[in-house]
């Protein structure tokens, strides 16, 4: 997108006849063009894939046990917190 102008690219893809018929029916039902439906479906798929990727990365980051440095830091923070509990 440049200066508020949306650009698009024509492309050819091979899609099973039955799937295309179903897509055409849904596009008509929604009052969309075939291209609009395909673009929306692709956008949704890519967004969901990105979300899954981010979730998987976060799961991986938090799945491991804390390393020695993290344990030491956690211990120091707990000891400082216990000093404040006495007050």
Question: pTM for this one?
Answer: 0.58
Which residues, other chains included, contact 54 with Cβ-Cβ below 8 Å and sequence gap of 6+?
none
Q: Is the pLDDT of residue 12 over 60?
A: yes
- Domain boundaries in the chain? 27-86
pLDDT band for 82, please (50, 70, 90 cuts): low
Cα(40)–Cα(45) distance, integer angstroms: 9
71 phi, psi to nearest 5 deg = -65, -45
32 phi, psi to nearest 5 deg = -115, 160
Q: Is the pLDDT of residue 76 over 70?
A: yes
CA of residue 76 relative to chain centroid, distance: 36
pLDDT band for 83, please (50, 70, 90 cuts): low
For the chain, what percent of residues have pLDDT higher than 90? 43
For the chain, what percent of residues have pLDDT higher than 70? 86
pLDDT band for 29, please (50, 70, 90 cuts): very high
């Amino acid at each position: 997108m440049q200066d508020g102008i949306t650009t698009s690219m024509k492309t050819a893809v091979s899609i099973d006849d039955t799937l295309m018929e179903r897509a055409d029916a849904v596009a008509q039902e929604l009052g969309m063009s075939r291209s609009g439906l395909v673009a929306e479906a692709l956008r949704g798929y890519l967004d969901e894939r990105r979300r899954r990727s981010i979730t998987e990365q976060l799961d991986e980051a938090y799945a491991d046990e804390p390393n020695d440095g993290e344990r030491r830091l956690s211990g120091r923070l707990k000891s400082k917190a216990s000093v404040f509990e006495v007050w």
